[in-house]
Amino acid sequence: MTFEQILFLNHLMLYLATIGFGFALLNALIGISYMKNLKNMTLIEVKIHKFNGRIAIGIFYALSAMCIYFSVIPKFMDNEIEDFYYLTIFWHTFLGGIIAFILISIKFYIARFKKDFIYKYGKYIGPIDGFGGWSLAYFTSSIDFYYWVNPAIGIPAPFLMPNYFVSLMISFFIGICLFSIVKAYKFKKYGKSEKRNELHGVAMILHGITFGYEGSAKELIGTPVLYKYVFPKTYEFLVRYAENIGLNIEELKKHNINEAMELAMNKFAEIGMAEKVKIEWLSDKEFTIESVNCSTSVVRSYMKPEELENSICPWGILAATIAYSLTGKDIEISPSEFNSIGAKSKLKILDKEI
């Protein structure tokens, strides 16, 4: 590897580290703004936080790969390569490399596979593992380059970042500017936060009442009778309401059941009550419906566990109603599996026609 190639890689890594730390700062600022309760984040902020986090993770792992490559490249300055490794071995390789990699990987795993855990302890995991890991990687790499590699080995600083403080200022500029844009867009979308809280407060109250009615009705008339009458009445409402969101229930009947359910759930998710509503087909007659980051999921934190036993998420009832209208067959719904950010319901299309 030539000196010019080493120079290019050093500059590329510095630019990526500066930009990546700016993205990490953005996510930290969004999290701090909802430190008391992460569930109060709007869907816009949730989506941006996720998307931005994926970019930051991608940049970090790309930098990690380049750092590993650097450790195995052939000598490019025979008489000084030993000094290069000696000066970076602890502060950058150990703290900014190994420790940072472990912290960010833990954060990635929890955010990807332990969603309940991240919403419960995210205000600690985010700053410690996410932002903490990025801080170690950024500060050790920048200090290492500007105060050791640059003067000792003679690799010049990037044109746009002649010194450490300019690099730091660019990172803060990226993070603060993006954070301001996110908050401005949120204000444009929702208006004052009080207005949004009032709307979602009403939705949560109605959500809680739904659970109350469901439990009482099942005790009085039994589950089969309840769903026999609930689906037709809910369908009558959907036909009228769907027009307001650009969905024609009758038009859905021109599609097969898989496509129709996907189209309907995507449309209903657009009203902003959930980040997404996922459908997974287990067979041609059995599927699950899962709400992710449902804005009313917080209502369950005010309910006793026994009050949720054998209960069904309204998204499940909505999906069953649409499936009922499309197939003309009975729909069997299993009790929903509730979590901190939504619920998952299993539905089965029965052979018996109405």
- Of 37-41, 139-143, 197-201, 305-309, the poorest mean pLDDT is in 197-201
The string of DSSP codes covering 216-254 is: HHHHHH-HHHHHHHHHHHHHHHHHHHHGGGT--HHHHTT
Residue 227: its pLDDT value, please? 57
Residue 309: both structure tokens together: 């036993």
- Strand 286-292 and strand 276-281: pairing? antiparallel
Whether 275 shows a pLDDT value over 60: the answer reads yes
Residue-averaged pLDDT of the chain: 77
Whether 67 shows a pLDDT value over 70: the answer reads yes
Residue 89: its pLDDT value, please? 62
Q: How far apart are CA 89 and CA 85, in angstroms?
A: 6
Residue 172: its pLDDT value, please? 94
Whether 197 shows a pLDDT value over 50: the answer reads no
Confidence of residue 190 (pLDDT cuts 50, 70, 90): low
Whether 202 shows a pLDDT value over 50: the answer reads no
Place of tokens 């409402």: 237
pLDDT, tens digit, 9 for 90 and up, residues 216-273 = 555 554 555 555 666 666 777 777 777 777 777 778 888 888 888 888 888 777 777 7
Q: How far apart are CA 325 and CA 237, in angstroms?
A: 12
Phi/psi of residue 37, nearest 5 degrees: -155, 105
Consecutive H or E run containing 92: none
Between residues 322 and 242, the one the model is more confident about: 322
Q: How far apart are CA 165 and CA 318, in angstroms?
A: 55
Confidence of residue 47 (pLDDT cuts 50, 70, 90): confident
pLDDT, tens digit, 9 for 90 and up, residues 8-41 = 888 999 999 999 999 999 988 988 888 777 667 7
Q: How far apart are CA 249 and CA 269, in angstroms?
A: 15
pTM of the predicted model as reported, rounded to 2 decimal places? 0.65
Contact 267, 246 (CB under 8 A): yes
Place of tokens 């593992």: 129
- Of 30-44, 116-130, 190-204, the poorest mean pLDDT is in 190-204
The domain made up of 195-353 is a member of CATH 3.30.1380.20: yes
Residue 44: its pLDDT value, please? 80
Residue 180: its pLDDT value, please? 92
What percent of the chain is modeled with pLDDT above 70?
A: 75
Residue 94: both structure tokens together: 């150990």
Burial grade of 312 (CB within 10 A; 0-12, 13-18, 19 or more): buried
Q: How far apart are CA 178 and CA 176, in angstroms?
A: 6
Domain boundaries, the chain: 3-190, 195-353
Confidence of residue 92 (pLDDT cuts 50, 70, 90): confident
Contact 103, 133 (CB under 8 A): yes
Q: How far apart are CA 252 and CA 326, in angstroms?
A: 8
Q: Residue 133 CB: number of other CB atoms within 10 A?
A: 24
Cβ contacts of 19 within 8 Å, gap of 6 or more: 59, 171, 174
Report the range out of 84-98, 149-163, 197-211, 294-308 with the highest average pLDDT: 149-163
Place of tokens 């997404």: 276
Place of tokens 């500007």: 146
Cβ contacts of 119 within 8 Å, gap of 6 or more: 38, 39, 340, 341
Confidence of residue 59 (pLDDT cuts 50, 70, 90): very high
Whether 102 shows a pLDDT value over 60: the answer reads yes
